[in-house]
């Protein structure tokens, strides 16, 4: 008894579920996440910013640590903190900037700090921070 293609395919189709195999492959691709490299993180846009102009040193410290920790919880990877250059500080000497840099470097969620970013990202009055990955 010779079977034609339609009969063979019909029997095969009843025992094989192609949509299930396709969905399984799609789910595997969706769950596979590759974290960006440091180089890719450096090139990406800033995801959130904090401006500390006109803040006291103590207030700036609290806001800096809260902002970094909240950004980490939100799974952000690149943030900016604007400290200003200290041009309006007494004697023209920056107060916030050095204190904020020290606090940022001490934060356990920080991977890298750029203290002199390009003008397009805030220049010398800003800090660009790459956070560790929150898995």
Separation between Cα atoms, residue 4 and residue 51, nearest integer Å: 74
Read off the pLDDT of residues 39-82 as tens digits, 9 standing for 90 and up: 999 999 999 999 999 999 999 999 999 999 999 999 999 999 99
Q: Decide: 47 and 76 in contact? Cβ < 8 Å.
A: yes
Q: Provide CATH code, domain 38-131.
A: 3.30.1370.110
Q: Cα 91 to chain center, whole Å?
A: 37
Name the strands in the sheet holding 48-51, side by side, starting at the edge strand that comes first in the sequence: 48-51, 78-82, 126-131, 110-114
pLDDT at 3: 75
Read off the pLDDT of residues 1-37 as tens digits, 9 standing for 90 and up: 677 877 777 777 777 776 666 666 666 666 677 889 9
- Partnered with residue 131 across adjacent β-strands are 110
Read off the pLDDT band of 98 (50, 70, 90).
very high
Q: What is the domain partition of the chain in residue ranges?
A: 38-131
pLDDT at 114: 96
Residue located via tokens 């500080």: 89
Q: What is the mean pLDDT of the chain?
A: 87
Separation between Cα atoms, residue 70 and residue 55, nearest integer Å: 19
| Dihedral angle computed from the Cα positions of residues 99, 100, 102 and 107, in that order, rounded to the nearest 10 degrees | 140
Q: Is the dihedral of CA 50, 46, 74, 38 positive or negative?
A: negative
């Amino acid at each position: 008894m010779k079977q034609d293609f339609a009969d063979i395919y019909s029997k095969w189709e009843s025992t094989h579920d192609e949509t299930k195999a396709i969905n399984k492959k799609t789910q595997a691709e969706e769950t596979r996440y590759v974290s960006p490299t440091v180089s890719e993180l450096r090139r990406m846009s800033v995801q959130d910013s904090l401006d500390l102009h006109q803040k006291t040193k103590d207030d700036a410290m609290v806001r800096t640590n809260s902002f970094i920790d909240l950004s980490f919880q939100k799974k952000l990877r690149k943030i900016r903190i604007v400290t200003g250059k200290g041009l309006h500080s007494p004697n023209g000497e920056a107060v916030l900037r050095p204190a904020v840099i020290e606090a940022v470097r001490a934060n356990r969620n920080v991977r890298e700090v750029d203290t002199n970013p390009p003008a397009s990202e805030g220049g010398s009055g800003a800090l660009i921070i790459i956070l560790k990955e929150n898995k």
